[in-house]
A = this chain, B = another copy of it.
């Protein structure tokens, strides 16, 4: 069973060494469930591999603090290793940044803070790194929307220990080209769908992403191919090529505007949107948000990656990202987290949650 009295750093190491690539979170979810169920001060709810644990102290305000327990695929970077970077200690490996260090801090504080100044709803959830409709919070919101009630929400996504407001939106689409099969020895009888995709890749390679200011924070966009596939056999002219593209768009855009932008970039091609989640505006106007920023001593930054702050934002709950780890190292082969940042975030959250 997880020892929640261990340090946040040790807890990070332990839960990173339990692989939990999306759709394989059950072992880790079981461990978290058992550990928090053994605590006396939390009301625990489980749905699939999502665990919710709440204080029920009757406080005037409630804060939701959440983190996902899944990771992107492992690339020879589990188990974790202790390393040094510029003389500073780091924990290296998949999940250290995105976002098990954040989850470890949350688990430790959930166990330790039996009487925080606000009621806290802790959420640890599955399937964040894949399609939005598989996300554990999507499922939970359908069956237990009441669990999302709160005055403020903090997602423990990596933010270098800073407060990152809002998030970019996220769109995935398939750009298809088609052709006609023929024997590759007589290619002139067919039409090559892969060759027809040349302008699709050229437009991606030439694309210059925008930078857009929203409520004082500058959001950097991006448009990338994330997958490509096509081909039938080694001697057949292919009749289909599919390029999956991922558009990260600033939170001032609606879903329709994001889709229109992608369709205009790939004008003349068949485009099918397969996943679309709008971003979230910074959400830093709420009183609790301003108290929180002041308590942790941060200057708010924009969040580039889509995170579930957008989900809380859409429910009317102001939400920010606050967690250890350099987000630019998330999903990176050299993913690694500074041990000092883990401690700093633990300290920041504890100070705010126990302030009088």
Contacts and interface: CB of A to CB of B under 8 A. Distances in A.
Contacts of A234: 130-131, 172, 226-227, 244, 246, 275
A99 B158 CA distance: 60
Contacts of A73: 232-233, 236
A192 interface: yes
Given A198-B204, A201-B194, A234-B275, A186 B327 contact: yes
A312 to B, nearest CB: 18
Contact of A231 (B226, B241, B306): B226
A329 B220 CA distance: 50
Contacts of A329: 189
Interface in A176-198: 180-190, 192, 194-198
Nearest to A21: B233
A231 B244 contact: yes
Interface stretch (A104-112, A146-154, A330-338): A330-338
Nearest to A168: B185
A305 B185 contact: yes
Contacts of A172: 234
A183 B228 contact: no
Given A185-B304, A198-B198, A205-B196, A228 B226 contact: no
Q: Which of A181, A224, A304 has the most CB of B within 10 A?
A: A224
B182 A328 contact: yes
A54 interface: no
A264 interface: no
A229 B232 CA distance: 12
A225 interface: yes
Interface in A210-246: 220, 222, 224-239, 241, 243-244, 246
B331 A187 contact: no
Contacts of A168: 185
A98 interface: yes
Contacts of A332: 180-183, 189-190
Contacts of A229: 228-231
A248 interface: yes
Contacts of A192: 204, 224-225
Contacts of A202: 198, 201-202
A58 to B, nearest CB: 39
A126 interface: no
A295 to B, nearest CB: 27
A231 B226 CA distance: 5
Contacts of A194: 201, 204, 224-228, 243
Interface of A: 72-73, 75, 98, 129-131, 168, 170, 172, 180-190, 192, 194-198, 201-202, 204-205, 209, 220, 222, 224-239, 241, 243-244, 246, 248, 275, 304-306, 327-333
29 contacts: A73-B233, A98-B183, A130-B233, A131-B234, A170-B185, A182-B328, A183-B331, A184-B222, A184-B224, A184-B331, A185-B222, A185-B248, A186-B304, A187-B222, A188-B222, A192-B204, A192-B224, A192-B225, A197-B201, A198-B202, A226-B232, A227-B238, A228-B230, A229-B230, A231-B244, A234-B275, A235-B331, A237-B331, A239-B333
